[in-house]
Structures are given as C-alpha cells and as structure tokens.
Structure 1
Amino acid sequence: MTLVTETAVKALLETPTTTRVRPRYEGSNICTWIGFKHVNYLVEEAVLDHFRQAGLPARALYEEHGLGLDIVSLDSRILHAFHMDDIADAEVTPWTKDDDSTIGFKVTIQFERNGEIHKAVTSKVRVSLRIDTYLEAAGEVPAGLARFAVAVLGDDLERESAAVAPAEEEILASLTAGANAYGWKWNIPYPYCHFTERLQMSGYLRLMEEGKDRFVADRGISIKTLLDDRRWIPVVPRSDIRILDEALMEEDLYTVYTVEEVFKDFTYTSRMDFYVLRDGKLVKTATGRIVHGYAVIENRRDWSLVNFDQRVIDAISAKAPQA
C-alpha cells in the first residue's frame, strides 16, 4: 500500500512540526563555535524530520516510489552563534502555494542560553522530488506529490541557455575575466553525492565554505594568517544557494567565487557559481551568495565583530597593498 496518503500529503504541506536539533562535533572548528555549514545542516535535518513526522520519510519515498528528496534552495540568516553542545528547537512551517512546483518551508531555530530564548536561525527552504532513473522505474508518481516530481533537478525553472565552452584549459580564465573573482576546477567525488549519482545540497555547502578558504588564501589573508596575526575569524550572517541543474559524480565542476560588494568596512558579499562541461557547453548547475564578516576571539567563550582594516579591504577588493 502506498505511503502517500491524502492525510500524509496534507500534513506535509499544511502542518507545522518541531524537532530537537544539536550541531555536530565536526562543525566546531575554532574554539567551540559552529560554522555556517553545520548551522545549515541543522536546517536540513529539521526539514527531513518534518517529512518523517508527516509519514513520508526520505528513505521510504525513494525505496517505495523512486523519489529522491532533494533540497534545491536554501536561504539562511544566522542571528546568534551556535556553540558545541547547544540543543535547539527547530520549527518547520510549510510554505507552499497552490501553483508552486517545489515544496516550500520556513524554518526557525531557537535555543535557550542563560535563561533567555534566542532566535538563532531563520531559513527558507525548497524541496524537489527527483524521479529516480538510475534503477528501474518505480511506477507512476503518486498523485498527491506529482507536481513536485521532476525528471532533472531544475526542471521547475527557466534555465539560462548553456554557453559554448572555450578550450578546457581556458575555461577558468574565461569565467573570471574582468571580475574580482577566484575559480578552480574539481572532480566531484562520491562522498559529496547522494541517490547514487548527483551532487547534493550539503556538498554545495561544503564547496561554499571551501570557496572562502581558497579565496582569502589566494589574496594573502588565509584563515590561519589572520588567526595567528590578530585572532580574527570569519563569520557568516547569511548564505543562500539554489540548484539549477544536476552535477554528476566524477564530473569536473568549475567553481567561481566573485566578490560583488564590500559594505563599508564591515561585511562583503560574494557570489558563487558552479558549472560543468557537458557536450561542449558550460552548464550552470547552481548559484548562491555568502555574506562574510570578521570577529576577534576574546577568550575561549566569547568573540565580537570587528571592522575590516585596510589590509583586508585591499585584499578582498583586489587592490595591491600600499608600500
């Protein structure tokens, strides 16, 4: 008997849920603070548990109906820092309009600290149900979920026309030409993928984090450099990412990190674009933005935001340092 009942779909699309979440130990890289990637993992876990509570868990959707649950859009604001061992409550509120072709949610995560309740994260999430084509067909998509099912991720969007690619050795130069940008080529390994073949949202989050790391190292202000020089750490108040098409296991992914705006001397916004070379064309598979600032480590427990100095402004603005 199908698990996709009218009651289950109604609960998925209409009934809010709350789940208890805790950041993973891996996400505590500097002192005991949790980085933006793992904060977004908490959002992902809350959405997955919403599907479970509705009676439509990701495993059963795939095994019984051949539908892969893919988070295709994630737009998150971090309002308070998470620490190692924090326990938080994540409320997932369905946010799907009648004409939507993706399943939408608003996620709010809050925790208690020193007797006060803090709203730590707000996020908007969109989910597609990818029809599995790697194995034999699982049968007709259940009617209640049919409008959210896609043959290829991004089918719900009007895609840009793929550009004819230059010679492979010229691709990165062409993608970064005339821009305050850094790019690299990377072969997609299986640990970044799911449902046997495609890069998943958590993989893109890992690449967004790596993009920052690569960019500042290229500009002479690597993470460790500023840690050692002045105990500065990067902080991310906001990030968003949207999957536009599929990137497949063992394809070469071209990633471009472009600084779009430096806001006074406090934050800067970078765009990240992801491409694969397919049939002689550059196919954009995802795009997103990430906002960065810096904080100074005051002690093992506390940090505070700081303004950029001229060295940092020059580095992120692609200006040569003053002699």
Structure 2
Amino acid sequence: MTTDTAVDNTVTGTPDETRLEIRPRYEGSNICTWIGFKHVNYMVEEAVYDHLRKGGHAPGLLYERHGLGVDITDLDTRIRTALHIDDVASARVRRAGSRDGALRLVVEMTVERDGRPVRAVVSKVAVQLRLDPRGHAAQTPPAELGEFVVNRLGPGGRAVPLQDGCEPLEQLTAGRNAFGWAWRMPYFYCHFTERVQMSGYLRQMEEVVDLFLEDRGVSIKTLLDEQDWIPVVPRSRISILDEARMEETLYTVFTVEQVFKRFTCTARMDAYVLRDGMLVPAATGTITHGWAVIENRRDWSLVDFDDRLVNALSGKPGKAVGRGPA
C-alpha cells in the first residue's frame, strides 16, 4: 500500500481531498481472482482512515489521547467494475460536508483496464467520533472535530417487545420471505473494547446471504458445481442504528424484497439485540445481488435467473435458524 499527500487542509481539521493507492487483501479473493463486496468495503474503510491521518487526526491517537473512537456509521457502496487480487486501485477521498453529527465523505476508486483508468467503486461514508465511556484520563477533544463527537452511535430505531412464549427469530421472520440467524458477537467483530464495528456488520451481511442461499437449496457451491454461476454484488449499504456490544447475541434477519426482471435481487438485512425484553434495532442494510457465469479464470458475464433461482429467492414465508462459522 502506498499513499499520496493530502491536497488541502481546511479549517475543520480534515482535508478537502486525499488520494491513496491501495491493493485488496488476498483473503477477499475467494472465487477465481475476483474481490468480494466485503473486501471492497474494507478498502473503502482504509481510504477513510488514511484521509483522517493526513488531516492530522490518526484514529489511534484520537483514541489514545482524547478517548475518541472513530466509527463508520453509514456505508453505501456501488461497485461498477470488478476488482482483482493484483489490482492497484487509486482511491480519491473528498469531503461532502457534515450532517446529523457525522463527517460525510465520498470515496471513489479507479483501476486501470486496457491502459486507461476505469471507475470501479463509488462509496458514500459517514464518520462519527464516539467518546469512550471507560473513564480513563483523556485530553479534551480537538475543537475542530467537536461536531462529530457523540456519546452513543446511531439515531436509534423503534424497539419492539418480545412476545410472550416466542423466540426472537420466530417473531422477526413470521409471515415474511426471510431467514434468521442468531450469532454471539465475538471480540474480533468489535473495536474500542466493546462495540461491534462496521466491518463486523459487513461480515454479518456476507454470512447471512450465504446461509440464506444454502437454506433455499441454491448454495454458492451448488450453483458453482452445477452451472458455473457465482453471485455478484453491485451495491451494498449498512447503517448503524444503535450499539451492539461484545458477546451480545445479534439476531440478524435477511428479507428478500424484490426480484427484478430475473436479473437482480434486492434484500434487506436487519440486526437486533434483545435487552430487557425488547428487540432493539442495531443495524439495517440492503444488498443487491446478480448472478454471473464464469467464462474463464478472469472473466464472467451476468446471466438471467433460471426458475430454480427465482423460486428459491421468492420462497414461502418462514424462518430458519443457523449458527455459522466466524
């Protein structure tokens, strides 16, 4: 990974624009050499943290000196061109103002194809600085970042009471084309000692899609083995609504909302924690899937859904409960 310098520093203490050259992590190359949506979003995250460092506000120092945890609270990413494991992406990060107590940034990535730059990724990001509640001595937060400092993440969502005699996933999936998954949040999904971070929710979204497809009989391996098909993700979005804590059980519900012209499927992810008999929304998001046929070790092309896939995605309302690997 190599970085360029910031273009300009503003009076708010963060640059107007920065640039970064970055490679995807090898872990994200799961099928052939293509990079999955989770790891594309990881690249977006790294570009954001680099942007803060170039403005003189390194995330580590913000926490160690001021007790401020840097949190991405909204991440809306469109993938326009597939990234491959050996690509070097050029990321441009620019300020997009502030709103609702969050610093707003736009991350654009280009990659070289046939000797010319091609736009690969566009992402809109919201960042907040969460005060550490643990009471260790800390310096006063930098004045120029004050509007982004919060005591708790998220705007909150409408909590609903757990019905008597009902399991959380039974209630959350009843009468819906949905799949439910309960998973204890491990420490490696968290940061700053206690909170699930954005990358943890990205992992939840990736995992719940995989479990849903397996439950419907169209697992990723099944379609790979039988048809050379793979799922592709042109867009994903996750918003943090409240804080989920280390070792709490996260109840994640994946709901298929629309199959559009046998070409794309749009689904919603909603994540809850159970507190004092109330199901509290922790995060929400959407993901758009298409499917593609592998043409060779480098190329693929989008395909129309066949009847088996359409029927699986549009299946009967119900619930399934799974516990997958970390």
Q: What TM-score results when the alignment is normalised by the length of structure 2?
A: 0.92
Check whether the contact 2:162–2:171 (CA below 8 A) recurs between aligned residues. no
Quick one: which amino acid aligns to residue 38 of structure 1?
A: H
- 2:324 — aligned with what? none
After superposition, the Cα gap between the structure-2 partners of 1:209 and 1:291, relative to the gap in structure 1 and judged at 3 Å, is same
Residues 1:37 and 2:34 aligned together:
no
After superposition, the Cα gap between the structure-2 partners of 1:9 and 1:168, relative to the gap in structure 1 and judged at 3 Å, is farther
- Mapped to 1, the partners of 2:219 and 2:19 lie a distance apart of 39
Residues 1:153 and 2:150 aligned together:
no
The Cα of 1:217 is off from its aligned counterpart by 0.4
The more displaced of 136-145 and 87-96 is 136-145
Quick one: which amino acid aligns to residue 65 of structure 1?
A: H
Query: Structure 1: which 5+ runs fail to align?
Result: 1-6
Aligned to 1:233, what secondary structure does the other structure show? Answer: strand
Query: Structure 2: which 5+ runs fail to align?
Result: 1-8, 318-326
| Count of residue correspondences | 309
Deviations 1:101-132 (A, max 9, x none): 10000110001122121100000000010000
Quick one: which amino acid aligns to residue 175 of structure 1?
A: L
Residues 1:304 and 2:301 aligned together:
yes
The Cα of 1:23 is off from its aligned counterpart by 0.2
- 1:74 — aligned with what? 75
Deviations 1:210-231 (A, max 9, x none): 1110111000000000000001
Quick one: which amino acid aligns to residue 10 of structure 1?
A: T
Check whether the contact 1:267–1:291 (CA below 8 A) recurs between aligned residues. yes
Quick one: which amino acid aligns to residue 227 of structure 1?
A: L
- 2:323 — aligned with what? none
- 1:3 — aligned with what? none
- Mapped to 1, the partners of 2:295 and 2:135 lie a distance apart of 54
- 2:231 — aligned with what? 234
- 2:106 — aligned with what? 106
Higher helix share: 1
Quick one: which amino acid aligns to residue 87 of structure 1?
A: V
Check whether the contact 2:177–2:316 (CA below 8 A) recurs between aligned residues. no
Matches within 5 A, 1:1-323: 10-12=12-14, 14-97=15-98, 100-154=100-154, 157=155, 159-167=156-164, 170-318=167-315
- Mapped to 1, the partners of 2:150 and 2:309 lie a distance apart of 44
Quick one: which amino acid aligns to residue 64 of structure 1?
A: R
- Mapped to 2, the partners of 1:142 and 1:17 lie a distance apart of 21
The Cα of 1:161 is off from its aligned counterpart by 3.2
The more displaced of 139-148 and 194-203 is 139-148
- Mapped to 1, the partners of 2:10 and 2:64 lie a distance apart of 17
Aligned to 1:96, what secondary structure does the other structure show? Answer: strand
- Mapped to 1, the partners of 2:137 and 2:83 lie a distance apart of 43
After superposition, the Cα gap between the structure-2 partners of 1:75 and 1:168, relative to the gap in structure 1 and judged at 3 Å, is farther
Q: What TM-score results when the alignment is normalised by the length of structure 1?
A: 0.92
- Mapped to 2, the partners of 1:312 and 1:150 lie a distance apart of 44
- 2:6 — aligned with what? none
Deviations 1:160-182 (A, max 9, x none): 33211235852101101111000
Check whether the contact 2:10–2:16 (CA below 8 A) recurs between aligned residues. no
Quick one: which amino acid aligns to residue 89 of structure 1?
A: S
Check whether the contact 2:241–2:283 (CA below 8 A) recurs between aligned residues. yes
Check whether the contact 1:9–1:54 (CA below 8 A) recurs between aligned residues. no
Aligned to 1:209, what secondary structure does the other structure show? Answer: helix
The more displaced of 60-69 and 136-145 is 136-145
Check whether the contact 2:69–2:130 (CA below 8 A) recurs between aligned residues. yes
Quick one: which amino acid aligns to residue 235 of structure 2?
A: R
- Mapped to 1, the partners of 2:152 and 2:167 lie a distance apart of 28
Q: Identity of aligned pairs, percent?
A: 59
Aligned to 2:81, what secondary structure does the other structure show? Answer: coil
Quick one: which amino acid aligns to residue 124 of structure 1?
A: K
Aligned to 1:60, what secondary structure does the other structure show? Answer: helix
